[in-house]
Amino acid sequence: MIKNSTERNTRFIKQKAYELGFSFCGVAKAEFLEEEAPRLEKWLSNNMHGKMQYMENHFEKRLDPTKLVEGSKSVISLLYNYFPEKEQQDNTYKISKYAYGQDYHFIIKDKLKTLLQLIFNEIGEANARVFTDSAPILERAWAKKSGLGWIGKNTMLINKKQGSFFFLAEIILDVELQYDAPIKDYCGSCTACIDACPTNAILPNNSIDGSKCISYFTIELKDELLPNEHTKNFNEWIFGCDICQDVCPWNRFSTPHQEPLFAPDNRLLNYSKKEWEEITEEVFQEIFRKSAVKRTKFSGLKRNIGAISKTNFNP
């Protein structure tokens, strides 16, 4: 039986979230995302998802949390910091900071399950599910509705206190909570991310042409070869890309995470280009044994390195 005190329950959930290491926690009413529906439809119809066919699936589920959790009343959004204390050396092939350590899917999902059990223990059993980049859910839209930040021109959620180097996670449940309000957009006239994107993937209408994004090419695209017309602009990125976040003025407020499982293998930080080019599958499995980089597989990483090194050799 649910204990009835929306204010007390909400306060309890946020306190436990912070104790588990989440940096920010907000709550929104579980309802159809009216504003996002036409944007998503237009984005898909313009083929800005490239060959990510899975983005076309579960259109209604992406917009309506009650189709993910029957009778849902609240969406709890959480941010988990991944900004590293140390970054890769200069003049080498680069990997997105989110993939430095162990795969966040497992680490954060474990924390979410712990949080959910604490919620059940405190307020009673409820119909609920946890998510972290693991289901058709518009995570940034919910984080925005929960007051955790605004959607920047690079489509990243930006938090006024600590920038955008966060993993997003959600708990959808059929319990009414105290809802937070969205905050204003603080990007203003800044176009740093648009100006810095080497493949012109960031459009002036606060959207991304995913089919031009370096992260799309180096992670999502499974073709045997990468298109030459784009690889010359990859700026040495072989898995993901952080350019639009690195140049964002709000990320001057980023602080190093405190999660030991996100600590990188020293080889990742210190490898030269030559060492990356000569990496063997055995070493790949050692360095990235529990990493999100495994998603691209050894063959994909070698493809990315080969395409960029070839471009550098033949400008």
DSSP 138-157: -HHHHHHHTTS-EE-TTS-E
Residue showing tokens 């960031």: 202
| Sign of the CA dihedral running 10, 11, 16, 19 | positive
Residue 24's DSSP bridge partners are 79
For every residue of the chain, DSSP letters joined together read -----HHHHHHHHHHHHHHTT-SEEEEEE----TTHHHHHHHHHHTTTTTT-GGGGS-HHHHH-GGGTSTT--EEEEEEEE---SS-PPSSS-EE-GGGSSS-HHHHHHHHHHHHHHHHHHHH----EEEESS-SS--HHHHHHHTTS-EE-TTS-EEBTTTBT-EEEEEEEESS--PPP-------TT--HHHHH-TT--EETTTEE-GGG-HHIIIII---SS--HHHHTTSTTEEE---HHHHT-GGGGG------GGGPPPHHHHH--HHHHHT--HHHHHHHTTTSGGGGGHHHHHHHHHHHHHHHHH--
Active site residues: 133
The segments of the chain whose pLDDT lies below 50 read: 50, 313-315
Residue 130's DSSP bridge partners are 171
Closest CA to 162 of 243, 262, 81: 81
Q: What are phi and psi of 129, to 5 degrees?
A: -140, 150
Domain that holds residue 158: 1-315
pLDDT digits (tens, 9 = 90+) for 152-186: 999 999 999 999 999 999 999 999 999 999 999 99
Distance between CA 79 and CA 212 in Å, rounded?
27
Q: Determine the length of the chain.
A: 315
Q: How many domains does the chain have?
A: 1
Please state the pTM of the whole predicted model. Answer: 0.92
Residue showing tokens 């795969």: 103
- Residue 224, pLDDT score: 83
Residue 80's DSSP bridge partners are 167
Whether the Cβ atoms of residue 268 and residue 93 lie closer than 8 Å to each other: no
- Residue 47, pLDDT score: 57
- In this structure, how many other beta carbons lie within 10 angstroms of the beta carbon of residue 254? 22
- Residue 313, pLDDT score: 46
- Residue 111, pLDDT score: 97
